[in-house]
Amino acid sequence: MARPVADLLPLAQLATVAMFALVALIAVMRARRGGRAGRWAAVTFGSLAVVLLTDPIEEALGVEPPAWLRVMTILLLIAFPYLLLRFTASLGGFP
């Protein structure tokens, strides 16, 4: 028996990664004229896009990434909440 929901999971994962990559690309392009908030948005969503794109790229290439790349990915993931906080604070009105 077919499991239609389970069959859509890879497509949903790919759509999520593509969405964050697009948000990161737009944020990076607008960072030059966006002021402080634009720069923090670019760094925040850029780091998340790198984390999310690492695994699909590894699977597509079929190679095991070097240890330093894994460490950098983990560090970016750990830094994401701080970057998100800095982005939010740059919008103003943050206590």
Ordered per-residue pLDDT tens for the chain, 95 residues: 567 777 788 888 888 888 888 888 888 888 878 788 888 988 998 898 889 888 888 888 888 889 999 999 999 999 999 999 999 988 886 66
Look up the pTM and report it.
Answer: 0.76
Q: Rounded distance, CA 91 to CA 46, Å?
A: 18
What angle do the packed helices 4-30 and 35-61 form, to 10 degrees?
Answer: 140
Residue 37 and residue 87 in contact, taking contact as beta carbons nearer than 8 Å = yes
Residue with tokens 């990161």: 24
65 vs 63: CA distance, rounded Å? 6
